[in-house]
Amino acid sequence: MVWGSMSSKGVGKLHFIDGNVDINKYLAILEESLLPVIKEFLTSGQDFVFQQDGVACHTSKKAIKWTEENNVPFLKWVSSSSDLSPIETLWHEMKKVLRQHPARTITELRQKLQ
């Protein structure tokens, strides 16, 4: 599984995930991958809203508390509206390229995604 981010300023670092994502793993991903993107792409005074889907670990009380503690405003999102999420277009384009040039190993897949 891969977690990624994008903004009008560019794309963030991909975060490769082994196994299932629970709330603790999700918060670690946000710490390691979201916070640096926010710091890199946004300067003081710019508006920012974090958008994520409605998966249970994303909308848990613990995740909401984390976004509040880290001053990350988020957009409330309906889980069945993935076709309206801008990042879905980016994932779609990446998948098209991968289908044309498939990876044969996990390591090769990670390299191609980067």
- Which domains, from first to last, does the chain contain? 2-113 (3.30.420.10)
Where are the alpha helices (H) located in the chain, listed in sequence order?
23-29, 35-41, 56-59, 61-69, 86-100, 106-113
Neighbours of 67 (CB within 10 A): 17
Beta-carbon contacts of 36 under 8 Å, excluding residues fewer than 6 positions away, are 12, 13
What does each of the 114 residues of the chain score in pLDDT, given as a tens digit?
889 888 777 788 889 999 999 999 999 999 999 888 887 776 655 667 788 877 888 889 999 999 889 888 877 766 566 566 788 888 899 899 999 999 999 899 889 888
Query: Rounded to two decimals, what is the model's pTM?
Result: 0.76
91/101 Cα distance (integer angstroms): 15
